Amino acid sequence: MTITVTGASGKLGSLIVRQLLQKVEANDITLCVRDPKKALLYQEWDVDIRQIDYDSPESLQQAFTHTSRLLFISSPHMDDTVRIRQHSHVVEAAKKANVEHIIYTSFAFPEKSDISLTHLHLATEHAIRTTGIPYTFLRNALYADFIAQLGLGVATRTGELITYPGIDGFNSVTREDLALAAANILTNDGHKNQTYELTASRPWHFADLVQALTEITGAPITHREDSHADNWLYRFLSRIDTTSTTNDLETLIEKPTVSLYEAVRQILTDKREDNTRTKSSGLGSGFHIK
């Protein structure tokens, strides 16, 4: 069995590769990257590193040769019209290379959303189905990283988290949990022609977030809604399904997903480390975490 991973040097891809290296022999893994310099950390392992470009169908077909299971990580391009063309190239190349199984990173509950991103994923899923190649769709919920965009720094300084009214309830998950799920699917049988909605087992709310912030920082923090808090993030959240949940992810990783508390703690820790580095240059200030 040969496992091929596209986008192997990205945030999610690199986490999946680390999981795979613990489960299968390194020489059974092919890593596809656009910039080989970003895959230097894998040189000590006996993995096959191939350069690809989603805009170059020839590079894709060559890289996918002799692939049993292809993990197709969606394009990071910001223009969805470009992304759909790139995704078509990947799907066509997989068919020409006689890939035996495509595992695709999609988006959770796309039928319940109304943005170009979810239309893109539905179109890609359809294209994969039309090839006749067995598939597995990993419909990933919001990455927990988005919590960092909710003004946690201001909340810890002022004691108040301010959000836009009417948007509350989130099924977010960490990349680490998603990576483990993908690696388990890539290294085990029984997942052909399956669609998994990879979400937290229950949604969290802003009341839970301020409780976590209070416990982590040791300072009391409250939540208040304010219509003046509107920005692009809340407009985005209002057009996707952020609350529906399943147990698919916990079943696949065979353990509870990372809790909101741990996700927030990691975000604040990362922010503190970033600010510490900035402060050493004479700028910024860090968080206090108990």
Render pLDDT for 203-221 as a digit per residue (tens, 0 to 9).
999 999 999 999 999 999 9
Please list, in sequence order, all residues whose beta carbon lies within 8 angstroms of the beta carbon of residue 274, skipping any fewer than 6 positions away. Answer: none
Cβ atoms 32, 4 nearer than 8 A: yes
Cβ atoms 258, 206 nearer than 8 A: no
Residue 186 token pair: 């890539």
Cβ atoms 136, 191 nearer than 8 A: yes
Helices (H) and strands (E) in the chain, counts: 10, 9
* pTM recorded for the entire structure: 0.92
* Nearest Cα residue to 184 out of 7, 1, 19: 19
Q: What is the pLDDT of residue 284?
A: 38
Mean pLDDT, the chain, rounded, equals 92
Of 175-184, 231-240, 272-281, the poorest mean pLDDT is in: 272-281
